A and B are shown apart, each in its own frame.
Chain A
Amino acid sequence: MSQQSYQPSPLRKQREAARRQASRRSTTIALLSTFAVGAVVVLVVTGAKGFDLVRQSFFSWHYAVHSFPSVLSGIWLNLRVMLIAEFFVLIFGLLLALARTSKSPVLYPVRLFATFYTDIFRGLPLLLVLLLVGFGIPGLQISWIPNSAVTLGTVSLILTYSAYVAEVIRAGIEAVNPAQRMAARALGLSQSQTQRHVVLPQALRKVTPPLLNDLVSLQKDSGLISVLGAIDAIRAAGIETAQSFNFTPYLVAGAIFVALTIPLTRFTDWLTRKQDRARQQQGRW
């Protein structure tokens, strides 16, 4: 069929005009309502009795500039902790998930351990794990175990987040259609070949968005290692604040954390949307 000889009917033009008008109207409404809400917020905040004081102690340009270098050098520590923790969390999470979903009777003790482990560490508040590991392990006074705050903080993050990530991956493995496993076995693939080449690739694809979500969460929680005394961004901001009694450095640290997580968050959103679209096109949910 040739597209060239096609003349849009008056009906189509009419429909398109109506659609354009509707979209203009909704844009206008969106703009107006955003403006109205913004105005109310500004009025309420600036009109508050303590506004001037808050502005000085939280939004001081002077202290922001002043504290920026030391907070930035603190964030460098956070970054390293994040990356190392993410690396180990993905490995341990995967191993735990594989252990929990294995059917082999030989692995029963491993399965039991993995179940116990995830139950414990999903339930324990991260702060508690940090305190127990950070202060408990040095207390043991075993010479070959490192007792720096950074190392123990990272270990705590890994312990906790491996449990979260394991659960996410396990859900993915269990969501793969059993017929896929059967099809692979029918081709002569062994249990482990089936797992590696058929089940896991599909499982990981399914859970990429929630997995990235956990990593975003891990990134910001890397700030908690400051409770052990590691000089990360939050601790550095704390030191600055202690000198000046101005809280702006905390806000600076917060802004940097947000800036660090936004790319991953946006990427997660994008990926989720893409997968949803793909699923819709295939018509299977």
Chain B
Amino acid sequence: MNALELKNIRKSYGDDLVISNLDLTVKKHQVKVLIGASGSGKSTLLRCINLLEEIDDGQIFLDGEDISAVGVNADSVRSSIGSVFQAFNLFPHLTVLQNITLAPRLVHGYSQEEASAEAQELLRRFGLLEKAHQYPDLLSGGQQQRVAILRAIICKPKLLLLDEVTSALDPVLIAEVLSLISELKRDGMTMVIATHEMGFAKKVADEVLFLKDGQILEAGSPARMLEDPQSQELKSFLYALEEAGRL
């Protein structure tokens, strides 16, 4: 069964058609990386998948269940999808541990002890245990983003969506976050990642999708996409990245 399946998705803001006729299938344990110029619709697509945006047309299946159907409980769908978006900050009034345990306690019915134990286990594994009782403001950007990822995965979501999780970070911090994501991939996490960071495409992608004006123009293995682009659009996108020294 596919972890995620998008059928003929369409999304517009007023007259602005952002996504059209988009199909996408993500198998269990697969990692798909979305690349594309600014404004190509990557973030919008991810927000549609976790139902933070309503699609105009098409269907979204999560583990075979149509989550775009009328009457679906959006809260419960979101609780089974982990999302980390660039602007989705940690909650500043809660400690790292409280940030991570909030959803398990409120949404997934964990007791305080269970949630804390689970969270501490995760923090230990990723070298963040000594930050457990600190407030997010005191953490580096990379640490904050890693905590945000742990917060999203603690309840073992069926799918993890990552949007530009490194775009505000310098190279050392990007590497920290990237190694966390590689580890999640080894664990078998199913992921859809939108990024400007080609390191993601090279290191963790099973397939890279090139988005242009809300449509998938080209898709393939990372090596094929980066070394042998077919479409003129992808060629010029990669050329622009190379010019900017980001390839």
Contact across chains for A185 and B87 when beta carbons are under 8 A apart: no
In the bound complex, residues from chain A placing their C-beta under 8 Å from that of B108 are 188
Tell whether, in the assembled complex, residue A188 and residue B52 are in contact, meaning their CB atoms are under 8 Å apart.
no
Q: Which of A183, A198, A205 has the most CB of B within 10 A?
A: A183
Contact in complex: A201, B83 (CB < 8 Å):
no
Q: Is the Cβ of A188 less than 8 Å from the Cβ of B93?
A: no
- Evaluate contact between B75 and A183: CB separation under 8 angstroms: no
- Is residue B91 contacting chain A, with contact meaning CB distance below 8 A? yes
Closest to A281 in B: B137
A56 within 8 A of B: no
**In the assembled complex, which residues on chain A have CB atoms less than 8 Å from the CB atom of B91?**
180, 183-184, 198, 202
Question: Which residue on chain B has the smallest CB distance to residue A198?
Answer: B91
The A interface, classified by DSSP as helix, strand, loop or mixed, is helix
Tell whether, in the assembled complex, residue B78 and residue A185 are in contact, meaning their CB atoms are under 8 Å apart.
yes
Q: How many angstroms between the C-alpha atoms of A90 and B81 in the bound complex?
A: 37
Q: Does B42 contact A (CB under 8 A)?
A: no
With most chain B CB atoms within 10 A of its CB, the pick from A187, A190, A197, A282 is A187
A284 and chain B: residue at smallest CB distance = B137
User: Please, what's the 1-or-0 string for A154-182, where 1 marks a CB less than 8 Å from any CB in chain B?
Assistant: 00000000000000000000000101101
A282 B80 Cβ-Cβ under 8 A: no
Q: Using Cβ atoms and an 8 Å threshold, which residues of chain A touch B81?
A: 186
B residues less than 8 Å from A180 (CB atoms): 89, 91
B74 (CB) vs chain A CBs: closest residue: A185
CA distance A145 to B83 in the complex (A): 54
Docked-complex contact B88 and A188, CB < 8 angstroms:
no
Pick the residue among A179, A193, A205, A282 that contacts B88 (CB under 8 A). A179
* Smallest CB gap from A203: residue in B: B93
Minimum C-beta distance from B65 to chain A (A): 16
Instruction: Decide if A189 is an interface residue (CB 8 Å cutoff).
Output: yes
Contact of B52 among A186, A190, A193 (CB under 8 A): A186
Q: How far is the CA of A190 from the CA of B108 in the complex (A)?
A: 12
Q: Does B152 contact A (CB under 8 A)?
A: yes
- With beta carbons under 8 angstroms apart, the residue of B85, B90, B107, B137 that contacts A188 is B107
Contact (Cβ within 8 A) A189 B107:
yes
Q: What is the CA–CA distance of A197 and B103 in the complex, to the nearest angstrom?
A: 10
Nearest A residue (CB) for B78: A188
Q: Within the complex, which residue of A186, A201, A282 is in contact with B85, where a contact is CB–CB below 8 Å?
A: A186
What is the chain A residue whose CB lies nearest that of B87? A179
**Inter-chain contact B50/A190, CB cutoff 8 Å:** no
Given A187-B151, A189-B75, A197-B106, residue A202 in contact with residue B83 (CB < 8 A): no
**CB-CB < 8 A to B75: which residues of A?**
185, 188-190
Binary contact track B200-223/A, C-beta < 8 Å → 1, others 0: 000000000000000000000000
In A104-159, which residues have CB < 8 Å from any B CB? none
Q: Are A182 and B103 in contact (CB under 8 A)?
A: no
Question: Could you say which residues of chain B place their CB within 8 Å of the CB of A183?
Answer: 85, 88-91
Contact check, A188 vs B103: say whether CB atoms are below 8 A apart. Answer: yes
- In the complex where A182-B52, A282-B137 touch, is A187 in contact with B107 (Cβ < 8 A)? yes
Closest-CB distance, B4 to chain A (whole angstroms): 16
Whether A202 and B92, one on each chain, are in contact in the complex, defined by CB atoms closer than 8 angstroms, is yes
Complexed CA–CA distance, A14 and B155 (Å): 60
Chain B residues lying within 8 Å of A186, measured Cβ to Cβ, are: 50, 52, 78, 81, 83, 85, 88, 152
Q: Are B88 and A182 in contact (CB-based, < 8 A)?
A: yes
**Chain B residues within an 8 Å CB radius of A202:** 91-93
Within 50-98 of B, Cβ neighbours of A (below 8 Å) are at 50, 52, 75-76, 78-81, 83, 85, 87-93
A205 touches B78 (CB 8 A): no
Return chain B residues, CB-CB under 8 Å to A189. 75, 102-103, 106-107
Chain A residue contacts of B103, Cβ below 8 A: 187-189
Kindly identify which residue among B78, B92, B93 contacts A187, using a CB–CB cutoff of 8 Å: B78
A contact residues vs B (CB 8 Å cutoff):
177, 179-180, 182-190, 193, 197-198, 201-202, 205, 282
**A to B CB contacts below 8 Å, 17 in the list:** A177-B89, A180-B91, A182-B52, A182-B87, A183-B85, A183-B89, A183-B90, A186-B52, A186-B78, A186-B88, A186-B152, A189-B106, A198-B91, A201-B93, A202-B92, A205-B93, A282-B137
Question: Nearest 10 A-B pairs (CB), nearest first?
Answer: A188-B79, A187-B103, A183-B88, A186-B83, A188-B107, A188-B78, A179-B87, A201-B93, A190-B75, A193-B106
